Structure 1
Amino acid sequence: MTTSISRAQPFYDEPLPIKETPVQRRRIRAAWLFLTPMLLCLLLVAGWPLLRTFWFSLTDTSLSDAGAGAFIGLSNYLAIDGDGWSGILVDPLWWQAVRNTLHFTAVSVSLEICIGLAVALLLNVRFTGRALVRAMILIPWAIPTIVSAKIWAWMLNDQFGIINHLMLGLGLIDAPLAWTADASLSMWAVIMVDVWKTVPFVALLMLAALQMLPGDCYEAARVDGVHPLKVFWRVTLPLLMPALLVAAIFRILDSLRVFDVIYVLTSNSSSTMSMSIYARQQLVEFQDVGYGSAASTLLFLIVAVIAVLYLYLGRRQMEVR
C-alpha cells in the first residue's frame, strides 16, 4: 500500500520562529544601557575627530591659519586644471607610501605570526625555568616603541653600531652597512625592529590559546600513534585559528597605521615612508591641513576596508571549517 504525499506539505517540519521572552528583552535593554556610555565616548573621542578631519580634507586650510580655509570640494583628492590632474590620488609619493605600508604590513605580520607561534609552542613545553623565560620574553613588548626604535637606531648605526661590529668580527661583511640609510636595506631594518618588538605580543596570545586547548584530543592522538607534525596540522592549528585571526587583525591594523618605529629609524625617507608619515609630512612640515587631512582620511578608509574584508573572509573560513 502506497501513501501519497501532498505537494503542499513539506517532508520536514519548519522551525517555528523563536519569540523573545520578557527576560531576554530586559537583558537586551540592560545591555544597551551599559553600552550607551561607551558608544557616546567612542563617538566623542573617535567620531568627531574623524568627521572634522574629513571636513578639513574638503578645504584648503593651512596650519598657520586654521580658521581661514575655504571649501574646495574634492580637489585635495583629485582635480583637473590647465596643467593636468592634481591631488593626492595622482601623487607618486602617496602611492609609494601605500606600497611601502602594504609591503611592511605583509612581511612583518607574516613573520610575527610564524615566529610568535613557534615561540608559543616552545613556551608551552614543560622545562626548568619556564616561568622566568616567559617573563623575559615580554621585555621587548614592555619597552616603549620610541625607546626600542632609538636603541636599534644606535645598534644599526654604520659607524659605531654593534650589529656591524659583530658582523665584521664574524667575517659576514667586508664593510659597515648603512642599515637605515641604504634604500635597499632600510625597509628590512624597520621590519626587523618591528618583528623583534611585537613577536612577544603574538606569542602571548598564542600561548594563552594553547593552554585552553582540550587535552583529550592529544591523548587520543598519542594512543593512536599519530605523528606529532600531523597532530599539529590536523588538531593544534585548526583549534588555534580563532586566536590566530585575532592576533593577525590586531597586528594588521597596527602595521597599516605604523608611524613611530619608521619615523625614528628613517625619518621621511621615501624608501620607507608609510601613509601615516606622508600625512604627517603634509600636515606639519608643509603646513597643508587640507592635503594632510585628505591623506589621513584615505588611510582610515584603507584600514577600514582591509579590516572588514579580513574579518569577513576569516568568518567565512571559520564557518566552512
Structure 2
Amino acid sequence: MASHDTAVAGNTSRPSGRERGTRVRRRRVRAAWIFLTPMLIGLLLVAGWPLMRTFWFSMTDASLSQMGGASFIGLENYLVYDDGWYGVLADSLWWNSVWNTLYFTVVSVGCETVLGIIVALVLNANFRGRTLVRAAMLIPWAIPTIVSAKMWAWMLNDQFGIINHILISLGLIDMPLAWTANADLSMWAVIIVDVWKATPFVALLVLAALQMLPSDCYEAARVDGIHPVRVFFKVTLPLITPALLVAVIFRALDALRVFDVIYVLTSNASSTMTMSVYARQQLVEFQDVGYGSAASTLLFLIIALITVAYLYLGRRQLGGDS
C-alpha cells in the first residue's frame, strides 16, 4: 500500500507531456523575442521615427523654406471645408494617382505571376544548358531599376528607338509610336518595363518551391495517365501556393510604392502618376512639406490596409485548404 502511494506521488510530481510541451513552447517564444528585439529596435529607429515625423508634418503647414516655424493645422492637409472642399482627399489628381497605382499593381503583378510560373516550370525541366539559362534569367532582376528604366526609355523612343524599328520591320505598325509620351500607351509601356524587370523574381521563388515538391505524387499521376495540365492545377499549384503568396505580396508592395521606373519613363505625366510620384511632386516641386507628408501618410495607410487584408485572406485560404 505504501509502495502504491509512493508511486502515485512520484507520478503526480512528474510533468505531463502537455506541460512539457508548454514549457518548450514558452522557451521558444522567449528565445524568438530575444533574437527579434535588436532588429525591432533598429527598425523602430530607422523606420518608426521618420514615419512619425512625416505624420506630424502632415498636420502642419510646413514648407521647405520654413521647416522649423511650421504651425499646427490639424487635418486641413487631408480634408477641410472652406467655401469648398480642399486637401489631398479632395484633389482629383490624387484620386487619379490612386487609380493609376492600383491599376499598375493589378496588371503588372498579375502578368508577373503568370509569366513567373511559366518560366519556373520551363526551368524546372531537365534540358542541356539549364544552369546557364537560369543564370541568364536573373539578369533583368539584377540590373538596377534606374538603369533598366533609362535603357527602356531609349529603346521606346519614337525617333531612334529599336522597338519601333522592329515593329515597323515586321509590318505591325506603319509609323513610330510615342510610347512614353502618348497618354494611351504610356501606362502600358511602364507595365512592360516592370514586368520585364520583376518576372525573374517571381520565377525564382516559384522555382525554389518546385524544387522542394515530392516526386512520388508525379510518378503516381504519370502511371495513372493523368493529363499534365490537370496535374498542374490539382497537384502543383496547390503545393506552391504558399511560395506564390509570398512572391505576390512582395511584388504588390513594390508596385504600390513604385516611383523610379515611372518617373524615369514619364516624369510627372498625369496618365501614369502614382501616389509616390504625386507625393514627390508636392514635397519637392511645390515645396509643400505638409501637403506632401499628408499624401505620403495616406500612401502608407493604403499599403498597410491592402497588405493586412491580403495576408488575412491568404491565411484563411491556406487554413481552409489544410
Please tell me the TM-score bracket, short chain as reference.
Answer: over 0.9
Q: Using the alignment, how far apart are the partners of 1:62 and 1:17 within structure 2?
A: 63
Greater Cα shift, 273-282 or 26-35: 26-35
* TM-score normalised by structure 2 residue count: 0.93
Partner of 1:272: 272
Compare the two structures and name the one with the higher helix fraction.
2
SS at match of 2:197: helix
1:174 is aligned with what amino acid?
D
For the structure 1 residues 71 and 18, does the alpha-carbon distance in structure 2 shift closer, same or farther, using more than 3 Å as the test? farther
| 1:42 and 2:43 correspond | yes
For the structure 1 residues 281 and 17, does the alpha-carbon distance in structure 2 shift closer, same or farther, using more than 3 Å as the test? farther
For the structure 1 residues 318 and 27, does the alpha-carbon distance in structure 2 shift closer, same or farther, using more than 3 Å as the test? closer
Partner of 1:71: 72
Q: Using the alignment, how far apart are the partners of 2:115 and 2:29 within structure 1?
A: 42
String of CA shifts for 1:243-272, please: whole Å, max 9, x gaps: 110010000000000000000000000000
Q: Using the alignment, how far apart are the partners of 2:27 and 2:163 within structure 1?
A: 62
Matched ranges for 1:217-236 at <5 A: 217-236=217-236
Partner of 2:196: 196
Q: Using the alignment, how far apart are the partners of 1:95 and 1:173 within structure 2?
A: 34
Post-superposition shift, 1:24?
Answer: 4.0
Partner of 1:168: 168
2:44 is aligned with what amino acid?
L
SS at match of 1:183: coil
* TM-score normalised by structure 1 residue count: 0.93
Q: Using the alignment, how far apart are the partners of 1:317 and 1:21 within structure 2?
A: 28
Greater Cα shift, 106-115 or 30-39: 30-39
Q: Using the alignment, how far apart are the partners of 1:101 and 1:44 within structure 2?
A: 29
Please, what is the CA RMSD of the aligned residues?
A: 1.3
Q: Using the alignment, how far apart are the partners of 2:96 and 2:40 within structure 1?
A: 36
String of CA shifts for 1:65-123, please: whole Å, max 9, x gaps: 211110000000000113x1100001000000000000000000000000000000000
Matched ranges for 1:25-174 at <5 A: 25-82=26-83, 84-174=84-174
**For structure 1, which runs of at least 5 residues remain unmatched after alignment?**
1-15
For the structure 1 residues 129 and 68, does the alpha-carbon distance in structure 2 shift closer, same or farther, using more than 3 Å as the test? same
2:77 is aligned with what amino acid?
N
Partner of 2:283: 283
Q: Using the alignment, how far apart are the partners of 2:274 and 2:120 within structure 1?
A: 30
Post-superposition shift, 1:23?
Answer: 4.4
Matched ranges for 1:14-33 at <5 A: 18-19=18-19, 21-33=22-34
SS at match of 2:212: coil
Percent of aligned pairs with the same residue? Answer: 74
String of CA shifts for 1:293-313, please: whole Å, max 9, x gaps: 000000000000000000100
Q: Using the alignment, how far apart are the partners of 1:134 and 1:26 within structure 2?
A: 42
String of CA shifts for 1:172-210, please: whole Å, max 9, x gaps: 111110000000000000000000000000000010000
SS at match of 1:253: helix
Q: Using the alignment, how far apart are the partners of 1:147 and 1:140 within structure 2?
A: 10
1:63 is aligned with what amino acid?
L
String of CA shifts for 1:32-86, please: whole Å, max 9, x gaps: 221111110011111111111000000000011211110000000000113x110
Q: Using the alignment, how far apart are the partners of 1:90 and 1:109 within structure 2?
A: 29
Q: Using the alignment, how far apart are the partners of 1:318 and 1:32 within structure 2?
A: 26
Q: Using the alignment, how far apart are the partners of 2:24 and 2:237 within structure 1?
A: 39
Post-superposition shift, 1:170?
Answer: 1.3
Q: Using the alignment, how far apart are the partners of 1:22 and 1:105 within structure 2?
A: 45
* Count of aligned residue pairs for this structure pair: 305
Q: Using the alignment, how far apart are the partners of 1:230 and 1:285 within structure 2?
A: 54
Q: Using the alignment, how far apart are the partners of 1:286 and 1:184 within structure 2?
A: 27
